[in-house]
Amino acid sequence: MKTVTIAGAGPAGLAAAIHLRRSGVPVAVFERRDAVGARFIGEWQVLESYSRREDVLEELRSMGIEPTFEHIPATWAHVVDDRGRKLQVRSKVPYGYFLRRGVEPGTLDRSLEAQATALGAEIHYCRKLAPEEADIVATGPGPADGIAKEIAFRTTAPDRIEVIFDPDLAPGGYAYFFVLGGWATLGLALLDGYGKLEAQFDKAVARFQQIEPFAIESPRPGYSYMNFFLHGSSERGNRLFAGEAGGFQDYLFGLGIRYALVSGHLAARSLVERVPFNELWRKRLLRGMRSSLGARLLYESLGRHGLRRFVSQSGRRDFREFLHSWARPSWWRLALRPIAEKVFGKAESCGHKIPCTWCRPREGRAGKPEPLPADFVSRYLEE
């Protein structure tokens, strides 16, 4: 039996490897770094559980993935507007799960690695596999369409889950601060004004300190980024593109781990069942992606006063239901998708890994690509 080769040992690649091995297919995964999760700093990330009615952990189990990673149910948070008004939100069932990313035991990355290798998958580290040599390409995002800076650190502060929605602080994005069990992650996500990332991040730290002071012990700085494009196919020749390499992303809040895991699983199913990958992912994921693009247009059109209303409305009902109302596919969000493509514009050229039917330009007001921070470029984009 032919060995299936997978480029990339992130969530999409390892989800594919797990299903292939459960189906008895030999698998070889090639990871360019020396360990899974090596580009992360142990930060908290959110595995969302609001875009579908089905709890995400149950969905993972149905795909043969056991949630052996550390995960903390998210049932409360504080949302903050640009005036500093803080509102507590709650949900009866988790709107997501906090999990850690990185090389440490208990992270999502190490858990998926352990499950894949226990099933017999071979993982080759420090080995970069060219896309044309892979059956499944799961190498993560290409050019940075949205970026974030984070620090992960120890702290004596009590548990906090806070998100600030302020267009001056985080254009097109938000600032976030998660403290769970003495381990903290503070970050700022931007879709515009990349050159101001460092200065805006310092302002975000100061803003959270103003809300309630906290100590920072042994900080680990890091950067992350996402892709922002639509495509007509995630098959190119005989290769299947999963995760962000295939453009699978939540365009509203950028919480793409669920998309990565599901798309990797579907790519493996395509090979096992000999069903076209495009048929599988379009049925399961396409409406959600298109709808989230329409929701992104609405979110960016809210403005200062609209974001204040967004914050205030989030506390008037169950928070998972509130998020679900934004994330679920609907006719009006789907109708906004072609309008969003026109409003956001289309890049004349891009570096995405598959042909795009649309991708958002990464240009400043002068029509030139926005500069990225030097540390960001050296650490992530020039490897």
Q: How would residue 367 be classed by pLDDT, with cut points 50, 70 and 90?
A: very low
Least confident of 174-178, 223-227, 255-259, 360-364: 360-364
Model confidence pLDDT, tens digit, residues 56-77: 999 999 999 999 999 999 999 9
Task: Give which of 241, 256, 263, 244 is closest to 101, Cα–Cα.
Answer: 256
Model confidence pLDDT, tens digit, residues 138-184: 998 877 778 899 999 999 999 999 999 999 999 889 999 999 999 99
Domains of the chain: 1-70+95-143+227-383 (3.50.50.60), 146-226 (3.30.310)
* pLDDT over 80 at 378, yes or no: no
Q: How would residue 213 be classed by pLDDT, with cut points 50, 70 and 90?
A: very high
Q: How would residue 383 be classed by pLDDT, with cut points 50, 70 and 90?
A: very low
Model confidence pLDDT, tens digit, residues 291-346: 888 888 888 888 888 889 999 999 999 999 999 999 888 887 888 878 877 777 66
What pLDDT shows up at residue 312? 93
In this structure, how many other beta carbons lie within 10 angstroms of the beta carbon of residue 221? 13
What pLDDT shows up at residue 346? 65
Q: How would residue 127 be classed by pLDDT, with cut points 50, 70 and 90?
A: very high
Q: How would residue 201 be classed by pLDDT, with cut points 50, 70 and 90?
A: very high
What pLDDT shows up at residue 348? 64
Q: Over the chain, what HEC string results?
A: CCCEEEECCCHHHHHHHHHHHHCCCCEEEEECCCCCCCCCCCCEEEEECCCCCCCHHHHHHHCCCCCCCCCEEECEEEEECCCCCEEEEECCCCCEEEEECCCCCCCHHHHHHHHHHHCCCEEEECCCCCHHHCCEECCCCCCCCEEEEEEEEECCCCCEEEEECCCCCCCCCEEEEEEECCEEEEEEEECCCHHHHHHHHHHHHHHHHHHCCCCCEEEEEEEEEECCEECCCCEECCEEECHHHHCCCCCCCCCCHHHHHHHHHHHHHHHHHCCCHHHHHHHHHHHHHHHHHHHHHHHHHCHHHHHHHHHHHHCCCCHHHHHHHHHCCCHHHHHHHHHHHHHHCCCCCCCCCCCCCEECCCECCCCCECCCCHHHHHHHHCC
Q: How would residue 373 be classed by pLDDT, with cut points 50, 70 and 90?
A: low
pTM: 0.92
Least confident of 210-214, 266-270, 333-337: 333-337
What pLDDT shows up at residue 349? 66
What pLDDT shows up at residue 294? 86
**Mean pLDDT, all residues of the chain:** 89
Model confidence pLDDT, tens digit, residues 183-197: 999 999 988 788 889
What pLDDT shows up at residue 368? 46
Model confidence pLDDT, tens digit, residues 232-258: 788 877 899 999 999 998 988 889 999
